[in-house]
Structure 1
Amino acid sequence: MRNTVIIVILLSQLTACTAQVLVGLDRVLEFEHLFQGKRIGIVCNQTAVDRNRIHIIDRFSAMENVQIQALFALEHGLWGTQEAGERIAHQLSADRIQIFSLYGASRKPTPQMLSDIDMLVLDVQDIGARFYTYIWTMAEAMTAAAERGIPFVVLDRPNPLNGLIMEGPMLEREYVSFIGMFPIPVRHGLTIGELARMFAGEGWLDSERRVELTVVPLRGWRRAEFIDADATRFIPPSPNIPTPSTALIYAGTCLLEGTNVSEGRGTESPFLSLGAPWIQSDELLRSLAVYRFPGITLAPIEFVPHSLPGRAMNPKYRDTPCHGIMIRVNDWSAARPFTMGVLLVKTIHDLYPHHFVFNADHFDRLCGTRRIRIAIERGEDIEPILSAWEGDLEGFDRLRSRYLLYSE
């Protein structure tokens, strides 16, 4: 009996090892021919590590006949230590490699930045929400590569919110910004490599020349997988996305950035805790109970946002006690965070009309439409708007099927 138990344990461990997801960076040696003899520019941040936590800079530095010519930093900087919206400056790395900022004076690599570069390589962990800026930095970098006539390589990574579930409205043209440039829903269910294929294949890039795109694919990932299935590999992609659950719920509570309700910045649980000095937790919970949000549990919370260097220097209601709710995820497959976010905003708006305020322009950019805000302000039934997404998502699902790299 004891031997049987040992065998079962060993087999389960072997299965876990063979089922391990390999990201694009894990597979670069299989595609080494792409990089040979090239002066490479790398668009990356702290998430660009392989399964042994070796960073892309070290992996490519160890490759023969490959030269890292420059690094390109996204929002939050090369090592993810700067808060949202903070402008990033050009600098030199410890190895004297030029680090160009793509979140400062320019959000697109300039011809001067690319003058000595033969290829751009991107490796960054996206979080599956349209208003997260990394995919739009990728779009700008792809455009610059096309204009320059140099190859663009994406080292793919999983979508942490899985590759099946889509949610939210399509971006309308008049709300194009750096938190949404192309007509995709809030939750798109694509990896960053699949998004690159779509951006190029649909002709959305602002370039007369087509980009020479290669995606180094994942191995062992299936579309139904969430990041919580392998949370040990999670590296916070930005200072206020510290946990896998935050990455999921951010797709909904980020809408609070377009209001005067605290989204929890300045606390240890950003985007999972929300509130304001004028909210009564129990009253809000009673009003939200009617929705029975699937996969999610709500609880009352009191918190005080503080200035946190590198995370939130000046959060809403700094040093002021706030009351609200804490969100916990108990079923990732069932949770629909964007829908929850819309209903949260509507409920708080209706309960506290003399306190609640929209930042209309920003809220509409986050939603990609003004229809949600207008319906809330007019007191209209929100259900028809929620239902209208389904038809749009069916059309998007047909479109995206051309670019999928992985099975269910």
Structure 2
Amino acid sequence: MTATGLEILLSDPRICLGRRIGLMVNQSSLTASLEYSWEALAKKGVKIERIFSPEHGVFATEQDQIAVGSKPTAGIETVSLYGNSEASLVPDRALLEGLDLIIFDMQDVGSRYYTYVNTLALTMEAVSGMDIELMVLDRPNPLGGELVEGPMLDPRFHSFVGMFPVPVRHGLTAGELAGLYLDHAKPDLKLTVIQMQEWERRMLYADTGLPWIPPSPNMPTVETAAVYPGMCLFEGLNVSEGRGSTTPFQLSGAPFINPMELADRCRSFDLDGVLFRPTWFRPTFHKFAGEEIGAIWLHITNPQLFRPFAAGVAMTAAINSLYGEQLQFLQEVYEFNDTIPAFDLLTGSSRIRTTILEGGEVQDILYSWQEEEGEFRRFKQPFHLY
């Protein structure tokens, strides 16, 4: 079984003893025996001064883009880093002063959009020059550490769902991303990564032997994480990404979609490792709550061949070609940004949306980021810890 950075630290916590510590965690910060990190550390004599919680809260009780309040966790002062404003995403300097160590321990899902590692990046910037050590307790990338997919982030589209100069599926762990960001943004801090043991880049999450704890409300299974790099794009469309169902992101649809017709169009693209099953569902909340809508369920048949971002882009193009009069690329505020369409923030530029609207060939669109993938595979090698 893979031993996470938390397990390694607990085996010898002397580096933490006698220090003033801030802990950046949520319910995924668990030992292999399902004990929360703050409880396990306390048993080792480690004193936590303050907990910083990410989007969704410590126990992932809040839905996406919902402000999280601050309330104690197990008697420890807890401060939300996801409130009603963009300023809330950054730890207040007054709450950092007096700390000499911040420990980050949350399960990432391997996609550039997922906000926990972006909170880590913002914290690295916040503590720059404060003589505070930042320690990352590393955890597996559930999508493995070999495959990368999608275009690079255009710096002009920098946002809370796009902070790292990486493709959508980056193939790095949180600890490796921290090292990359240290090199990229050059914050003035000491970074320590407590590495895992018994983890290899080829491993998917099922290979680790670790239990999967949903790190956010709509990430219930590892299968959800596997489709997320593509299906998160539907957050930028007037198409349900499956919130309000028991299988978010695997399931998606809209009232104007004929599922059999859309499935046929998606199958025509001959995408590897996935089957498109037409179906219907009724979301209980979020988009189209209470309506029966036509939908597609993604079934992964080969995780090594499946390219989730390509599937999400291809499905978007198919919906546009079949239902262009009804499809909308949403323009409202998304993750505190009110100037750039959410779809563009997620893809990292306006290029894909524009090409889809212009009726570009799907295969040409899917080939358009291959050169960027190759360049990033070479670029990321020095940041590998495993």
Deviation at 1:230, TM superposition (A): 4.5
* Equivalent-residue separation in structure 2 for 1:31 and 1:405 (angstroms): 20
Say whether 1:176 aligns with 2:158: yes
Paired position in structure 1 for 2:335: none
Corresponding residue of 1:45 = 26
Between the aligned partners of 2:100 and 2:325, the Cα distance in structure 1 is 58
CA separation in 2, counterparts of 1:152 and 1:56? 16
The reply on whether 1:280 has 2:258 as its aligned counterpart is yes
Partner of 2:38: 57
The counterpart of 2:64, out of the listed 84, 94, 102, is 84
SS at match of 1:235: coil
Which amino acid in the other structure matches residue 239 of structure 1?
P
Structure 2 letter corresponding to 1:48: S
Q: In 1, are the aligned partners of 2:130 and 2:189 still within 8 Å (CA)?
A: no
> Does structure 1 retain, via aligned residues, the 8 Å contact 2:112–2:164?
no
AA of the residue aligned to 2:178: A
Report the Cα distance in structure 1 between the residues aligned to 2:380 and 2:72, rounded to whole angstroms: 39
Instruction: Return the offset for 1:232.
Output: 5.6
**Separation in 2 of the partners of 1:293 and 1:389?**
16
2:338 alignment counterpart: none
**Superposition CA RMSD, Å:** 1.4
1:201 is displaced (CA, Å) by 2.0
Q: 1:51 to 1:279 in 2, by over 3 A?
A: same
Q: CA deviation at 1:229?
A: 2.9
Alignment check: 8 A CA contact 2:135 2:193 kept: yes
| Whole-Å separation in 2 of the counterparts to 1:399 and 1:196 | 15
Aligned match of 1:34? 15
Q: Which moved more, 1:359-368 or 1:27-36?
A: 27-36
Long gaps (5+) in structure 1:
1-19, 308-314
- Secondary structure, counterpart of 1:69 in structure 2: strand
**What letter matches 1:255 in structure 2?**
L
Indicate yes or no: 2:356 matched with 1:376. yes
Deviations 1:245-272 (A, max 9, x none): 1111011011111111111111111111
TM-score (norm 2): 0.94
Match of 2:327? Answer: 356
Secondary structure of 2:151's counterpart equals coil
- Structure 1 vs Structure 2: percent identity of aligned residues? 37
Give, as a single letter, the amino acid of the residue that structure 2 aligns with 1:85.
Q
Provide the TM-score with structure 1 as the length reference.
0.89
Task: Give the letter for the 2:244 counterpart.
Answer: G
Counterpart amino acid of 2:43? A
Letter in 1 for 2:38: I
Question: In 1, Cα distance between the equivalents of 2:119 and 2:61?
Answer: 18
Give the match for residue 336 of structure 2: none
2:241 pairs with 1:243: no
Residue type of the alignment partner of 2:326? H
Give the Cα separation in 1 of the matches to 2:146 and 2:347: 20
Q: In the superposition, relative to structure 1, how do residues 185 and 100 fare at CA in structure 2: closer, same or farther (>3 Å)?
A: same
Tell me the matched-pair count. 374
| Partner residue of 1:148 out of 117, 120, 130 | 130
Residue 186 of structure 1 aligns with which residue? Answer: 168
- Residue 146 of structure 1 deviates from its aligned partner by 2.2
User: Which runs of no fewer than 5 residues in structure 2 stay unpaired?
Assistant: 332-340
Task: Write the distance in 1 (CA, Å) between the matches of 2:101 and 2:360.
Answer: 52
